[in-house]
Amino acid sequence: MRPDAATVNWARNLTYSSSDVVHPRTPGELQALAARGGRVKGLGSRHSFGDVADTTGTHVSLDAFDDGRPPVEVDAATGVVSIAAGRRYGDVTRSVQAAGRALANLASLPHISVAGSVATATHGSGDDVGSLASAVVGLELVTGDGEVRALRRGDPDFPGAVVALGALGVVTRLELETVPTFDVRQDLHVGLSWDAITAHLDEITGSAYSVSLFTDWGPDGAQQVWRKSRLAPGAAGEAPPADFFGARLASTPLHMLDGVDPAHCTPQLGEAGPWNERLAHFRLEFTPSNGAELQTEYLVPRANVLDAIEALRPLGPRIGPLLQVSEIRTVATDREPLWLSPFDGPTVALHFTWSPLPDDVGQLLPHLESALAPLGARPHWGKLSHAVTDRAALRAVAARYPRFDDFRALAERYDPAGRFRGGFVERLLSL
């Protein structure tokens, strides 16, 4: 195992507390590390903005891990894809597409690891499209006694082990459902008013397979609407309307940040192509930014989204000076209850990409959460929130998960010594 020095997260707003980072190459090396004692924590693509993946012990990166099986393998009979957990979605999707299959959903970035994305309930967008974790049908992990455990959908522990924040062990492999391959065309509209959004939100988000509204929370509504339509392979699809609830069709490619070159974004203007090159917002071959940002996200029950929008709009003058862009998108109910997933019903995600101003953002977050908490909002586990630093806010978040006590009992059973805790996870499980 090759050790590295302790490192920082992708956004460079957090220096990890770990003493080193190791890269086990074989199951035996990982099992020996897990069994020897001391704190251990899996480390993925480091795209969490809080300390959910932190540890005072040893970080484990699976970028060199080889369990003797293909890193990505699609079962032709079932369509299930088995994936080495350290792989990035962008790399996985190429193999899945080559097999004539597709994942139903992708997050905005294809650069993030499969295991870390699933463990934090990361998601994409679509009224009828579930989170990345909802596709999981099986997983393997190494626990603190050095043993390998395999869980599949239907096992009693499975609903607690999928979105688990790394608290049960180091996940080494995941199995995901796939669907037959499909194409996607992406059409953009600009200038969607708040009046149109509040009057027609269901029609807007239901107008395509995946819809994202980008706003600065100013008086003008959504500056851009990105609509990704699902097509049969090779189909061109219908031309988008010139007028979309008052928004006009974009005539040139756009980045969601005003004035930024859209070269890093996936193809737009109705250029249809494979799902793995369209569902994400950004191309795998480019790094969309250098991490010079912070992110926050709140998951709100769909029934409360119009109230949430009305609660946030008065805060627009305080949000705007700190904001790069905010995104509104929908997420479907999980296929089955996952104890720490916020998607136990139809949900709307309110995402904020901030300028790298941690003190100013930290002062604003309690006001955002105070406005949204009465509406059942739950912060994304891997992004910044007031609950990351405030115990009372964290206790309120935990209370919004009906199976939280069951998850804590599961974590204590899998990891009685608390070796996979640290940072945010330790604070959460010690409530």
CATH number, position 317 = 3.30.70.2520
Going through 258-322 in order, the beta strands assigned E by DSSP cover 273-274, 294-301
What's residue 286's pLDDT?
A: 81
Which CATH number do you get for residue 98? 3.30.465.10
What's the pLDDT at 127? 97
Selection from 374, 332, 371 nearest residue 349 by Cα = 332
H-helix or E-strand spanning residue 308: helix 305-312
pLDDT value at residue 192: 98
Residues 175 and 189 both lie in one domain: no
Question: Confidence class of residue 291 from pLDDT cuts 50, 70 and 90?
Answer: low
Structure tokens at 244: 């979309």
Is the same domain home to 167 and 235?
no
What is the crossing angle of helices 305-312 and 194-205, to 10°? 150
> Whole-number mean pLDDT of the chain?
95
Q: Does 288 have pLDDT greater than 70?
A: no
Mean pLDDT within 22-35: 94
Say yes or no to pLDDT of 26 above 70. Answer: yes
**In the prediction, which pLDDT does 6 show?**
58
E strand spans, 95-135: 101-102
Quote the number of domains for the chain.
Answer: 2
* Residue 167 and residue 191 in one domain: no
Whether 217 is covered by a domain: the verdict is yes
Residue 134: φ, ψ to 5°: -70, -15
Report the distance separating Cα 6 and Cα 286, nearest Å: 26
Co-location of 277 and 377 in the same domain? yes
**Run of H or E including 425:** helix 423-429
Contact 335, 158 (CB under 8 A): no
CA distance 431 to 353: 29
Q: Give pLDDT, residue 343.
A: 98
Together in a domain, 123 and 197: no
Q: Measuring CA to CA, which residue among 269, 245, 258 is closest to residue 188? A: 269
Query: Is 48 among the domain residues?
Result: no
Distances (CA, A) of 209 to 226, 252, 299: 11, 22, 19
Is the pLDDT reported for residue 77 higher than 80? yes
Q: How far apart are CA 179 and CA 410, in angstroms?
A: 31
Q: Supply the pLDDT for residue 37.
A: 86
CB-count exposure of residue 22 (10 Å: 0-12, 13-18, 19+): buried
Look up residue 144 and give its DSSP letter. T
The pTM assigned to this predicted structure is 0.95
Report the distance separating Cα 175 and Cα 158, nearest Å: 12
Count CA within 13 A, CB hemisphere, residue 245: 23
Q: Is 370 a member of any domain?
A: yes
Domain limit, last residue, from 374, 389, 404:
389
CA angle 45, 51, 57 (to 5 degrees): 85
Q: Are residues 327 and 367 in the same domain?
A: yes
What secondary structure letter does DSSP report for 267?
Answer: P
Residue 113, domain extent: 72-180
